[in-house]
Chain A
Amino acid sequence: MKELRTFQTSDGINLHCIKDSKFTMDCVSFFVRMELTKENATNASLLSYVLKSGCKEYPSVSALNRRLQELYGCVMDVFTFKKDCQLVLCLNLQFADMAELMPKAFSVAGNVLLSPKMFLNRFPDGDFSNGVYALSKAIQSLNDNPTQYALFRLFEEMCQDSVNDSVSRSFGLSSDGYLKELSLITPSSLYSFYSSLITSAPVDVYCVSPKSADEVKACFEKIPFFDMARKKFEPVGKLKGINTAGRHVSESKDLNQTILACGYTLGGSDIYAAEVFNELLSGGGNSLLFENVRQREGLCYSVSSKIFPHTGVLAVYAGIDGRNSEKAVSIINECIKKAGSCTEERLTEAVNSLVSKYSLIPDSPQELTGFCFSCRINSISPDIDEYINKIRAVTKADIASVADSVKEQIIYSLN
């Protein structure tokens, strides 16, 4: 990977610059971190809509977007997402790498983040009301995508009863927010949330660009962030207190096919072995789930798995004919067992496939930013070569150990 340079411009505000001359655009992401709770998720999501509706300098949606279009179609978005058990408000900028564009694009981002439209410590009623409308639609639309909804419900069911562990419970929350919490927010309370967030939350800014780190820093330093001590977050580690083994949850939505989602927890602390294990399951055309559930049994078109190695959660999901649910669960569990006792050849293929995926991360500014930020959240080195070497070092015994630690927690089906 090209050199990553980090500058701490004030307490809790860090600028991370990756210079790579092959890129034709600059990609800048501002990540503002906070605890994942229903209240924070709802406030932060609503805030993302209000910030996008304009700022003092560009006071309407059209004025802001026309300014972005003038900057050679600079793309800007503000949104929330969940990273393991933390909530992140993100402002993302992408613009063509052209002379003089970076200071102008940074200036727009600074205006949107730090100079929103406000009057007497409250956001304008119109922007607030439009934001509430848009967010309420976004929250409800989660129900309209069967796979997305099934995975959300799987994690919610798995984590909501987690005994004495608020971090584990937060893993099951949506980063979009909740209607009940939304109804309690006012233009004033949202402004208070914003003021507190922008002065106390840690901010990490990543810039992947052909420009030098010093050039990026000079543009960044013009953004007048408040110089205040900010919160610190520790990595959450493996989820604790999840005990839903044997639980079956079924919901009906009158679908043409059933979305089957199986949730598992993993013990151990070897994140690299866990990733290889997941690659064995669903890494590509020669993965176990594809070969067995789709090709051998013809049970589905789409079958996949998703791993959260740091929190120790695995989900396997497929769209199937509901009459084949039991058979599919049995084959999925058979695949998990097979992965644990895989041949040396299959392990090598999975390792090579995963290594290839990680090696290609530096070709995408977005993926590179995602990788570095994930490493930062989990306090591990953002050196891709080091990460790859650890993947290469995974042995059959490590995989067997991951397979032994897999515990089926819940089977969720959406019909």
Chain B
Amino acid sequence: MEVIKEKGPISGALFYIYKLSSGIKCYIIPKCGFKTMQAMAVVGFGSADTSFSCGGEGFEMPAGTAHFIEHKLFDKKEKSAFTELSKNGASVNAFTDFARTCYYFSCQDNFYENLRTLVDMVSQPYFDEKGVESEKSIIASEINMYKDIPDRRVFSNLTKIMYPHSPLGEEIAGTEKSIEKITPEILYKCYNAFYTPENISIICCGDIEPEKAALIVQNAKFSAEGCEKNILRDNMPRLNDYVSKTLGISEPVFNVGFKYSNFDITPENTYAIKMIFDIVSGEGSKLNERLLNRQVLSEPLGFSLICTDHGSFSVVSGKSSKPAYIANSLIKTASRLKETGLNDTTLKRVRSMYCGRIIRGFNSVEAICMAQAELSKYNLTICDAERAVSAMTADKLNSLSASVFERENAYLSVVK
């Protein structure tokens, strides 16, 4: 097994990266002294990956297929891997986003046995008619639950106007109508297209022996054939940049989305964008203070950056009865930063904040796995992220500040 060892320049943590002969990449981050051990299988198949080609033939899958597999992959012919892991002392969960499906467990005993169960589960699908049909009502209930959560609703409405011609504009779980079309054949077709070793990473963290864990992953047998994923970039002229929905809530929630065309997904770029948000409108910014003092905001704004093969965008979120005013203030302040440039004091303060954040992140096995899961799809590690933060310069931030929060890329979604 080929192994690369790296040490985080900020955290000082050790990383073992195994490139296994099967094609799987295994990231192991030992954490001595912790009882918690966690393993996560990250599959590079998300809700936006609905179109692909196999052997020259094209396929379009119903919205929600990746998420449906996430629900059903636990089921096996004789038993449920979910139950097996639970009975073996593990706490189990899974989630799907636009770009990935992740399955994970944490436990304090039987780690290697549980890891084998996780790897077997991901490598051996079993989808049957009865199981697929009975899961539809459970997923429909999940879809309906999200409709009543204003934060989910405002986000899904945002992506609908940002990406009307792309699966990024579809609900991750699909709709009641789209999941009705799902059959075991569709699930197998997608499984065989995407659950290939090259498209899967396994992340392990805790007081574990790296080689022992890597050997278990090495022994997994995958039958998936692979496919050619169709990248569906939605660069059409926009139809609408505002959407509003009334749910009758006490204070409107809003998302301001900024769409980036041809975004190069590197740790330098992603951290630079996050830092620019903090400088412009984070908790230490003058803008945040002004908005609180004017009582158009009652709590600080939130920020997230979503990167996928089909497109990347950032979202500024908050609650306010004047969301358009906040969006405009944000764009104006960012534009002023573009003109004045960044001073060294601010850079130093923000960089030290991110260094502290990275160090704090190493306080939890679960947080380490989640952080690595964000990066492994792009063959990156937390070490790469740490290097990017250490090397961040004012020039880098100044060069990007011009394009992060621009009016022509902005979209606003409000739920009242």
Which residues of A are interface residues toward B (Cβ below 8 A)?
20-25, 53, 60-62, 65-66, 68-75, 94-98, 126, 129-130, 133-134, 137-138, 140-141, 143-146, 253-257, 284-286, 294, 298-302, 319-321, 349, 352-353, 356-357, 359-360, 362-365
Contacts and interface: CB of A to CB of B under 8 A. Distances in A.
Interface string B90-114: 0110000000000000111100000
Of A69, A97, A299, A349, most B-chain CB atoms within 10 Å: A69
Interface stretch (B237-245, B289-297, B392-400): B289-297
B35 A359 contact: yes
B78 interface: no
B357 interface: yes
B360 A130 contact: no
Contacts of B135: 298
Interface string B299-320: 1000000000000000000010
B145 A319 contact: yes
Contacts of B80: 285
Contact of A356 (B107, B292, B319, B360): B107
A255 to B, nearest CB: 5
A356 B34 contact: no
A363 B249 contact: no
Nearest to B139: A301
12 contacts: A24-B11, A25-B359, A68-B284, A73-B353, A126-B293, A134-B292, A134-B299, A138-B299, A257-B147, A301-B141, A320-B141, A360-B108
B54 interface: no
Contacts of B83: 285-286
Interface in B13-56: 31-36
A73 B298 contact: no
B356 interface: yes
A126 B293 CA distance: 8
A143 B250 contact: yes
Kindly list the 5 A-B residue pairs having the minimum CB-CB distance in the complex, ordered from nearest.
A72-B356, A22-B33, A73-B353, A140-B250, A73-B356
B148 A94 contact: no
Interface stretch (B117-125, B221-229, B362-370): B362-370
B319 A257 contact: no
A144 B249 contact: yes
Interface of B: 11, 31-36, 80, 82-83, 85-87, 89, 91-92, 106-109, 134-135, 137-139, 141-142, 144-145, 147-150, 248-251, 253, 282-286, 288-289, 292-293, 295, 298-299, 319, 349-350, 352-357, 359-360, 362-365
Contacts of B35: 359-360, 362-363
B151 to A, nearest CB: 9
A256 B289 contact: no
Given A23-B363, A298-B134, A257 B289 contact: no
Given A62-B284, A146-B148, A364-B364, 18 more contacts: A22-B31, A25-B363, A61-B289, A68-B283, A69-B283, A69-B352, A73-B356, A74-B356, A96-B359, A97-B359, A257-B144, A286-B87, A298-B135, A298-B138, A349-B87, A353-B89, A356-B91, A362-B35
Given A69-B284, A134-B298, A301-B138, A96 B356 contact: yes
